[in-house]
Amino acid sequence: MLFLDKTGSKQCRFVKVDDLTAWRINGKSTEGKIVATKITSSEWNFAVGKSAELFEKLSKLPVKLGDIAHIFVGLQTSADKIYVLEETAPPKSGLIKVKDQAGIERMLEREVLKPFLNNVTVSSFERPVSHHWLVFPYHLSNDKATLIPANEMASSYPEVWEYLKENSKALRSRESGKADNDQWYGYIYRKNLTLFDTPKLIVQVISLFGRYAYDDTGLYFSGGGNGPYYGVRWLKLDNLHSVHYLQALLSSRLLDWCLQKISSPFRGGYWSYGKRFIEQLPIRLINFSNSTDKARNDRMVNLVDQMVSLHKQAASARNPDEKIRIQRQIDATDQQIDQLVYELYGLTNKEIRIIEDQRD
């Protein structure tokens, strides 16, 4: 509830309730004072209690994810049921065997298909695997996407063209007939078509904790708003930082703690990792001219490489004892990453305890 007074005030009383049932029974809550200067036209992110000072400290860091990264939504075809097909056999001789929504199998030309994430839950240190393909009737060149002319589609990709023609009525009727023109087989919204082929992080938008999967295989996905995914890549492609460095920061306990201070909670303990929240996360950049800082960067990337390798081993392990051993190594490496992140952000032992206590 928000109570307003027309006379104004220099500060206000803020009460935070984490457990609504407990609050109704015994009034359990966390209370604090918020100065009026912090109540601005931008989003309100208030912290009270023992974590308030730490949140304030991190909020003051000058570089946010939105300053140095391109956070982009997935494709919006307005007809995923037509453009997205399930793979039923591995690619062969330039053709891929796929199944459409009606269960009809067909062989389509690989050259105008893109690997597509469909109902896959990604994990931070595991490579996402695609079992679907996206019909992508575009040429990509010089950061531009150009719709392949109809005559070229018919002559060079006859199987895909025939499939699109079978669905022409539905494609033309998209968005109340907005697509009923000579470009009917293309997407209505053509935003971000050129962003998927470069190394990126794929973010699971609704999740219990941060999931930032690394992809350098050109996976495509749909999304926007509450999901299912967002893409994140460096704003400047010549950035000296590895994407793996950014992946480690975002996946850490510290930045996940920050995220939960500013994000929207969902039922069941889920949080939104949408653009408007993750773009506010503070990012500790490396000073590559400083040998100590560079050594931290190298160690971080090394730890991520270890995590990726361990997750591969865990996926292929068959012996229960071996699985337990690898999981212990994963947990230990994860803790090393967290400790390095704490060091990079200059946290004290007391501040580290605040983060650890909330997650334990």
Tell me the residue range of the domain where 32 lies.
Answer: 1-41
CB-count exposure of residue 243 (10 Å: 0-12, 13-18, 19+): buried
pLDDT at 358: 77
Within a domain: 20:
yes
pLDDT at 360: 47
pLDDT at 350: 96
Within a domain: 27:
yes
CB 84 within 8 A of CB 134: yes
Within a domain: 12:
yes
* Sheet hosting strand 105-109, strand order edge to edge: 105-109, 95-99, 84-92, 132-135, 113-116
At 37-58, the pLDDT tens digits run 666 655 555 565 678 999 999 9
Within a domain: 37:
yes
Within a domain: 17:
yes
At 251-288, the pLDDT tens digits run 999 999 999 999 989 999 999 999 999 999 999 999 99
Within a domain: 1:
yes
Within a domain: 26:
yes
Number of domains in the chain: 1
Within a domain: 32:
yes
pLDDT at 8: 64
Query: pTM of this prediction?
Result: 0.84
Q: Which residues of the chain, if any, have pLDDT below 70?
A: 1-24, 27-49, 359-360
pLDDT at 237: 84
pLDDT at 311: 96
